[in-house]
Chain A
Amino acid sequence: MLFRNTINELIKILSKPRSYIGFGALTLLIGVILIAMKADGKNFISFVTASFEQTLSFNGDILNGNLMAFVILQMLIIHVPLLVALVTGDLISGEAAMGTLRMMGTKPISRSAILGSKFLAGAIYTFLLTLWMAFMAYGVGQWIFGSGDLIVLNNDGLVIVPADDITWRYLYGFGLAYLSLLAVAMMSICFSVFSDNSIGPIVSTMAVIILFTIIGSLDVPSFGNLQPFLLTTHMASWRSLFEMPVPINDIMNSIYILLVHIIGFGVIALWKFNNKDINT
């Protein structure tokens, strides 16, 4: 029944116009960035690298597909959650508002299976969105700008990643980005269980992400103990993959914390949904 209803959930997601907003927005945003960088990227890069051009010499073109994918991922990872929440935040609350949750609730499918299939469908949608982001940022970026060494400015300084050592990093990088977006999806589904309208869970998800981002960026001692456990702190963990050497322990720690968020939101949602009175 879980599998059957997951097919249903995917059909519903694919039939709703709002599901395509994310793909459209990503295409537009990444497209604009790529075109702008193609048109005027060299001047921009020269301006940024002017300070250390005197001390370092580069082989090849700094402005390449690898750099573009890095820049785009960094720019969008905080904004893509809105696109995810737009769909996943609506999965339960949208049905409650429409009255179809009542219809589903009278069918011989357990509440856990209903929610489980929504989790799966949400995870598949998030995966497709991440895949599209990867295709646009990395695939199209490579096609327009070509490959080359990647120069990254980290907390530890300037890191140059050779071109033949990059693909696997992006593979894992987008994997980590997916995991963080999945945590966002689970959070919005969890909020969705508590609400009977679609707007509430979407706005709440974004409010939490903005709040966590602010807490994470404030250098206030009392927030120091909290910061390592915030979802938003680990949304940028993909960047660690572009350090030399790769801090495996830090990345594993981020994966654990993201998984704890995913499981935690899932358990809360499951408990609430199984005890929820369907009154709409």
Chain B
Amino acid sequence: MSQEVVSVRNLEKSFKGFQAVKDVSFTVKKNDVFGFLGPNGAGKSTSLRCMLSLIKEDAGEIKLFGQTMSGNRNKILSRIGSIIEKPDFYKYLSAYKNLELLARISGARVSKSELYDILEFVGLQGREKHRFRTFSHGMKQRLGIAQALMHNPELIILDEPTTGLDPQGIVDIRNLILKLSKEQGKTVILSSHQLAEIEMIANRMVIINKGRTVIEGSVHELLNTAQMIVRFQLDDIERGLKLLSTDFSLTNNVQSDGTELEFEIEKIRIADVAECFMKNGLRIYSIEQKRKLEDYFIKMIDQS
């Protein structure tokens, strides 16, 4: 069994009568890139803040590296690097000075050359002496990641790290996370409200909505059960329609334009449809899949 790095059970948190987190539970295992998914206001940041002891939970249990925060806070936090909400630094200090300050309280000895290395790693070489207030949003995110990584933590928590980034910045962050996971064996928790982003880099995920856990599991398994839209280009559309009706009970929501059939079906059944068409002598010119990620996400949210 994989080692549990994070275990959250029945987490609850209220603010002045408003219950931001009602019942959140999930488990993150070693080396996971764990997607923490939910719409805006679902309780993601509040849950992460509870995990890092920025706010005190009302109820529930949080275990990090098998230990609760009580009595182990500093030991646990020295093994974690994080960005919560957005990276905020001292505007009047340079990138290097900001890192130096945070390194001093990171629980590890970080040398000057290591700080320069980490700044280079996140692509901020040449900007070390520039004040934080002169940085663009992307550069701030990179500096945020640098401070999260500088003490070589085992667990990295990134709260919506791609928000506000340009497409290249998003790709860079995505590659960085994959690199951290695959090359350095880090465990990463990635909070996001975009399912596509999670699907690209996470191996496991939890969806939360209105302060509750909706579903948790492997990204592969969860998304494979998702409905997809499939478009078949066939030589005989009429026969294809008939087969869909008789063999797969698909009559509603099947669209045809004379050369193509478009319908909604579970991903695991697409191969069965193709096999059926071929067995019945139909020629398939092309199959195009369009997963309805957003629909799936909304469906999960609605079900909650």
Given known pairs A15-B93, A99-B86, A99-B88, the reply for A105 and B52 (CB within 8 Å) is yes
- Residue-wise interface mask of B (60-88) relative to A, using a CB-CB cutoff of 8 A (1 in contact, 0 not): 00000000000001111110101011111
- Residue-wise interface mask of A (67-105) relative to B, using a CB-CB cutoff of 8 A (1 in contact, 0 not): 000000000000000000000000000000011101111
Contacts of B86 in A (CB 8 A): 99
A107 touches B88 (CB 8 A): no
A5 at the interface (CB under 8 A from B): yes
> Which positions 1-48 of chain A face chain B at CB distance < 8 Å?
1, 4-5, 7-8, 11-12, 15-17
Nearest CB on A from B132, distance (A): 10
Q: Give which listed residue, B49, B91, B101, contacts A278 with CB less than 8 A.
A: B49
Contacts of B76 in A (CB 8 A): 108
Q: Give which listed residue, B87, B105, B147, contacts A8 with CB less than 8 A.
A: B105
Nearest CB on B from A91, distance (A): 13
Given known pairs A102-B54, A277-B56, A278-B55, the reply for A107 and B93 (CB within 8 Å) is no
A279 touches B56 (CB 8 A): no
CA distance A105 to B51 in the complex (A): 12
B88 touches A106 (CB 8 A): no
> Which positions 141-199 of chain A face chain B at CB distance < 8 Å?
none
A275 at the interface (CB under 8 A from B): yes
A217 at the interface (CB under 8 A from B): no
CA distance A107 to B83 in the complex (A): 11
A108 touches B107 (CB 8 A): yes
Contacts of B49 in A (CB 8 A): 277-279
Given known pairs A15-B90, A98-B90, A277-B55, the reply for A106 and B104 (CB within 8 Å) is no
B74 touches A11 (CB 8 A): no
Contacts of B77 in A (CB 8 A): 106-108
Interface size class of B (residues with CB under 8 A): 20 to 34
Nearest CB on B from A89, distance (A): 17
Number of A-B contacts (CB under 8 A): 81
A110 touches B147 (CB 8 A): no
> Chain B residue with minimal CB distance to A5?
B105
B25 at the interface (CB under 8 A from A): no
Nearest CB on B from A233, distance (A): 38
Q: Give which listed residue, B54, B97, B104, contacts A5 with CB less than 8 A.
A: B104
Contacts of A110 in B (CB 8 A): 73-74
Contacts of A100 in B (CB 8 A): 88-90
A109 at the interface (CB under 8 A from B): yes
CA distance A175 to B52 in the complex (A): 42
> Which positions 91-148 of chain A face chain B at CB distance < 8 Å?
98-100, 102-110
CA distance A126 to B92 in the complex (A): 22
Nearest CB on B from A15, distance (A): 5
CA distance A278 to B86 in the complex (A): 14
CA distance A99 to B88 in the complex (A): 5
A12 touches B101 (CB 8 A): yes
B106 at the interface (CB under 8 A from A): yes
18 A-B interface contacts by CB (under 8 A): A1-B105, A5-B105, A11-B97, A98-B91, A99-B86, A100-B89, A103-B88, A103-B102, A105-B53, A107-B77, A107-B106, A107-B107, A108-B73, A110-B73, A275-B56, A277-B56, A278-B55, A279-B55
Q: Which residues of A contact B (CB under 8 A)?
A: 1, 4-5, 7-8, 11-12, 15-17, 98-100, 102-110, 275, 277-279
Give me 4 other A-B pairs in contact (C-beta within 8 A), A1-B74, A106-B54 excluded: A8-B101, A11-B97, A107-B107, A277-B15
